[in-house]
Structure 1
């Protein structure tokens, strides 16, 4: 992602970097590929590269290849690196951020330590810098998910006792509550947070010290380096460490899966907000109008949110096809081109969660419309069949047939659910060789709108007590998830602070 505020790198050649080629990149290659990539890396990866260089200094010191004065001189210059300075130097370093940092420091040292950057490759350096960036974006995404989930949770808590129709096959089916429905959204978010734990485990393995592909020739302490960078463990196999970008592939996969689910919730809101339903409303500042039809109040923000969930699926397709059929080793195709859409995927997820969260925060339930819609439909048919079996000993399948026939006849006669015809039900039962003696009472209980909520008694059901119990569990789960991710962020910050203390301590520049 280019940053126009960063100056364009100067042109130059490859002198001093390699004996293999004599000139720097062609101008077209710079303009189309290298400079846009460098701008993104300056904006997003530069802090990670500087931190990695500091960890390398401590390793060179531990290996006895740098003394304290040499380490201190390099570390001091690394602290002076700015985005503008990197952009200024990059043209003479093949527009490569690793080469640029090396040249920046080398030019300002009175004498370059001979062993500085010995036994080093850009491959694991680049893989780790990208991972550090991705790890930070993953933390941001998890925290955004928690915030979104809590917003959905607040909305669900407001609708526990409200009745609305639930739909199957696009037809009114049973009485549910908005609280029950949006508790389902909370459950979906918590499910994604659980799956992101696995993504974090992948992103918590450091590639540093893997070298170009086959490992390093010096005895680098990879576990120590990982700890200094805030990782919990090492990506052990050297080839896999540099060949694969699992963290990006897995993160985009989870975003895609979440996007599919969120699009379905948004589709329901789009339906419920239509004039034929009118179950929900949004304030004017979150609404739109028609230029030609003044009677219309539209909710285009929902269309925006649903459309943006498609970007999440597209991002996964992009990165997966970008890696597919490539050789299993480090390559620009995998490390840069296949990953080019990953920052946009994180951005798209953040946008979806912010916009959808704002919708949920401002959503208003139209209780009368929801209640009237329930009362107009025979949503208690299932309950009626159950009551006929449990109270009148009518076999279950027969009870289903009788209930269905009653509803057909009542609709034909223009009877609303709230006006039970006990004689009709008794006559239908008699045709099947049964009777109840309490037909009106059964019909009244079955077709009650409030009773549609309280008739359910299983865990996870739409019964208000069950919904409240579930929401209480979900509240704790969101708190626990928030604490886990906050602890991880704190650990990374503490590792960075600890790294600077080591550089200033006995192991570092003051030795």
Structure 2
């Protein structure tokens, strides 16, 4: 095993797992499916309250009947819909709910609730209301991750490390520069997520089944009551479209790729072989068999959960592509169901990465040593020769020979440069620390 229960100390680890990480990693085994019936009824009744207010204000429904319905709906909400939970639902949740209201208040009152409305525009509305919570939580977590990355980037701006290409030391940068680079990608994903959510601010009510309604409803009023910014301009599009499902999952999938790539870097850098980062005891796991282990297993959870949105996008797009452009179960139900795990898993992956970045400490000496041992200042040395008038390809060859000489002689790159006949003249004019990785990183920093 690679995990660690919160509060369980091992001989190797002094603390248990961070409770925030524990909830994400382990509480899934104890969680149930929540209360889908109650959740959906709360959304339906929220729409009903706005719809009834609008119908009464427009004189479409007698205010006394609307008031009786509102009182009964509010009482049902207060009881957590207990009278409905054992009621048969042979034709679905909404009709069982409406049927209970008719039984309670009579056809003359209970039967007016659905005036000027279809389950099609109702469902298109409730799904938009439902997504507000998980979408908002994802936005909050992404913004918080960006903040932590930028804060740590500033804190570690002078911690020099090797940047890697093809898994090999390349050039010196700072750990802070790496983190702010990740922050740039996170902020782009935040912008993409914000753009993807614009459709959920549009109110579908008034679209009816697909062609609107002759009842003089006021979609702008229900939009205002439900917190939408506008009414849908086209009834077909209002009930047919769940584009926001694809757009949100697509934006989350792009973010997930960045999360997984970052987790891959950090996983390598926390190994004993690299030794560049050390994670606190409350962010690693132990082994059930091997006493010495400190497993950065949260990074593996990040890599796994960050793929959920991509899988969800594929499933949702495949489901939608089977339907014509009208109300369709394949779109409104089967495609939309992929949104919830996609958003939830991505949010959890973001939270885990934030905890890891916040709690991982760079080994400053090891980072600097690896930058030296990897001859990461070689490109800078070649560019100094270019400044002195040497063609770059010639300089590239000369510095390659210099690196080989440093390896053969077991000497620093600066000593090998002064010993190479083609490089010595250029090297002579610089101070002793001119090829130190931190000096080069400061000279070459971009952004």
| TM-score, length basis structure 2 | 0.86
Aligned match of 1:393 in 385, 389, 393? 389
> Does the C-alpha gap of structure 1 residues 38 and 453 become closer, same or farther in structure 2, counting only changes over 3 Å?
closer
Deviations 1:71-129 (A, max 9, x none): 211111111113343633641x4362322332232222266236442332110001100
* Partner SS state of residue 364, structure 1: strand
Partner in structure 2 of residue 448 of structure 1 = 436
Q: Which runs of 5+ in 1 are unaligned?
A: 1-35, 430-435, 461-511
Deviation at 1:438, TM superposition (A): 4.2
Partner in structure 1 of residue 105 of structure 2 = 109
> Does the C-alpha gap of structure 1 residues 95 and 452 become closer, same or farther in structure 2, counting only changes over 3 Å?
farther
* Greater mean deviation of Cα atoms: 182-191 or 439-448: 439-448
Deviation at 1:348, TM superposition (A): 0.7
Deviation at 1:158, TM superposition (A): 2.1
Aligned match of 1:178 in 175, 180, 187? 175
Distance, in Å, in 2 between the alignment partners of 1:457 and 1:177 is 9
Deviation at 1:446, TM superposition (A): 4.8
* Partner SS state of residue 281, structure 1: strand
Aligned match of 2:412 in 413, 416, 436? 416
Distance, in Å, in 2 between the alignment partners of 1:189 and 1:90 is 47
Q: Does 1:148 align with 2:145?
A: yes
Partner in structure 2 of residue 62 of structure 1 = 57
Aligned match of 1:402 in 392, 398, 401? 398
Cα contact 2:405–2:416 (8 A) shared by 1: no
Deviation at 1:256, TM superposition (A): 0.9
Aligned match of 2:130 in 133, 140, 154? 133
Q: Does 1:193 align with 2:190?
A: yes
> Does the C-alpha gap of structure 1 residues 411 and 312 become closer, same or farther in structure 2, counting only changes over 3 Å?
same
* Greater mean deviation of Cα atoms: 318-327 or 262-271: 318-327
Distance, in Å, in 1 between the alignment partners of 2:207 and 2:136 is 25
Cα contact 2:382–2:395 (8 A) shared by 1: yes
> Does the C-alpha gap of structure 1 residues 37 and 301 become closer, same or farther in structure 2, counting only changes over 3 Å?
closer
* Partner SS state of residue 85, structure 2: helix
Partner in structure 2 of residue 212 of structure 1 = 209
Deviation at 1:175, TM superposition (A): 0.6
* Partner SS state of residue 393, structure 1: coil
Cα contact 1:420–1:440 (8 A) shared by 2: no
Deviation at 1:363, TM superposition (A): 0.9
Distance, in Å, in 1 between the alignment partners of 2:437 and 2:187 is 30
Partner in structure 1 of residue 117 of structure 2 = 120
Partner in structure 1 of residue 15 of structure 2 = none
* Partner SS state of residue 172, structure 1: strand
Deviation at 1:286, TM superposition (A): 2.0
Aligned residues: 413
Partner in structure 1 of residue 6 of structure 2 = none
Distance, in Å, in 1 between the alignment partners of 2:322 and 2:86 is 36
Deviations 1:399-443 (A, max 9, x none): 22222222223323332225344231xx225xxxxxx73423448
Partner in structure 2 of residue 273 of structure 1 = 270
Superposed CA RMSD in Å reads 2.3
